[in-house]
Amino acid sequence: MEKVKNSTWQWVRFIIVFFTILVISLTALILFQATRPFADADKKAETVALKEEYLSSVERMETYNGNDIQYVLYGKKKDEKSAVILDESLVKLKTIQMSKGISRQQAIDTVQKEFPVKKVIHAKLGYEEDHVFWEVVFKGENDTLNYVYLLFEDGKWWKRILNL
């Protein structure tokens, strides 16, 4: 009788461990497959930026999700810090000399002077309606989500979407 109980518990433990490993493996596989298109798009955007000589080197890349998806690649062109904005089809929308506008930190500082910022979520370059801008997303003091847009060239306010 005791052997039957031990044998049953061994099978129960085996089944629990087996299904736990199965669930973890399937979750990891699904996450890997889900992020793969983003990694492929990032590589393609970098390849286009270098091949078309929009940049001579790429230091980092961001995806801006506004009205359309845009890939913003930061790097250098002729030893000057630059950025290029590509649309979802990897067609160049705009090339930017970073010295000709406000920096990411200046955009964040401007927002923090104007609003009670609890946490900055991100600050990204984007391009819409013939404007290059910084999108600064932050949590306000009441945990409200806020999107503000400052023009890249002079740091003036463009749009504000507050208290979401």
Question: Mean per-residue pLDDT for 64-89?
Answer: 92
Question: Mean per-residue pLDDT for 148-161?
Answer: 95
Q: What is the pTM of this model?
A: 0.74
26-96 and 104-161 have identical folds: yes
Question: Mean per-residue pLDDT for 40-66?
Answer: 88
- Which pLDDT does position 43 carry in this prediction? 83
CA 92/CA 84 separation, integer angstroms: 7
- Does domain 26-96 fall under CATH 2.60.40.10? My reply is no
- Which pLDDT does position 136 carry in this prediction? 97
- Which pLDDT does position 15 carry in this prediction? 86
- Classify residue 163 as exposed, middle or buried by CB count within 10 Å of its CB (0-12, 13-18, 19+): exposed
Q: Residue 39 pLDDT > 80, yes or no?
A: no
CA 142/CA 164 separation, integer angstroms: 10
- Which pLDDT does position 1 carry in this prediction? 52
Confidence label for 35 from pLDDT (cuts 50, 70 and 90)? low
Q: Residue 163 pLDDT > 90, yes or no?
A: no
For the stretch 19-28, contacts whose Cβ atoms lie closer than 8 Å and that sit 24 or more positions apart, written own/partner, are none
Per-domain boundaries in the chain = 26-96, 104-161
CA 37/CA 30 separation, integer angstroms: 12
Question: Mean per-residue pLDDT for 48-74?
Answer: 92
Question: Mean per-residue pLDDT for 46-56?
Answer: 90
Please state, for a pLDDT cut of 90, what percent of the chain lies above it. 58
- Does domain 104-161 fall under CATH 3.10.450.40? My reply is yes
